[in-house]
Amino acid sequence: MALEHAILVSLSERAGSGYELTRRFEKSIGLFWSATHQQIYRVLKRMEEAGWVAVDVVAQSGRPDKKVYTVSDTGRAELVRWLAEPDPSAGPVELAVKIRGATFGDPAKVAEEIVRHRARHAERLDVYRQIEKRDFPAPAALSGRHLHQYLVLRGGIRVEEGQVEWFDEVLAALRPKDA
């Protein structure tokens, strides 16, 4: 995922200036993906050149003119395309942006992506649990190197459990209410 897609999601929610986007990122998407003011402005310029955003210049008294960005039809089409595109290498940040933007595309396609990622994480969780059972049958008796290996494995198990639980929560929420 590129910063462009996160910006398309944010601008689809509400038009804004580069400064306003930076503030929004700090309070929402930026909690798990940071983008500097300079990065956002560079990307907005590229997006404008690509036709993904339109710019309205608003005159301000005593200040430079303000550029307010909105998503163009071309930008909406790109967002819909990206939301529906499978990405086997997507991490939690990319998936979070897709979930946030689901309403601007096909939520069922986003749910399909979540199902694929859930299966991958559930499979990894099963492998980790098999290793735990096979290699660490008595964890209370561990010390030194073996304890340290076990603790790392437990960290992996906890991460995968969390991912699977989150995906289950997302899928339940995205399920049509009449289903």
Q: Report domain extents, the chain.
A: 1-83, 107-174
CATH class of 1-83: mainly alpha
Burial class from Cβ neighbours inside 10 Å (0-12, 13-18, 19+) for residue 113 reads buried
Q: What are phi and psi of 53, to 5 degrees?
A: -130, 150
Mean pLDDT calculated for residue range 91-98: 90
**43 near 4, Cβ under 8 Å?**
yes
Q: Which residues contact 106 (CB under 8 A, 6 or more apart)?
A: 80, 83, 84
Mean pLDDT calculated for residue range 154-175: 96
Percent of the chain with pLDDT over 90: 74
Mean pLDDT calculated for residue range 144-149: 97
pLDDT digits (tens, 9 = 90+) for 10-27: 999 999 999 898 888 888
Q: Which residues pair with 54 in a beta bridge?
A: 70
DSSP-derived secondary structure for 146-160: HHHHHHHHHHHHHHH
Burial class from Cβ neighbours inside 10 Å (0-12, 13-18, 19+) for residue 32 reads exposed
pLDDT at 93: 86
Mean pLDDT calculated for residue range 45-63: 94
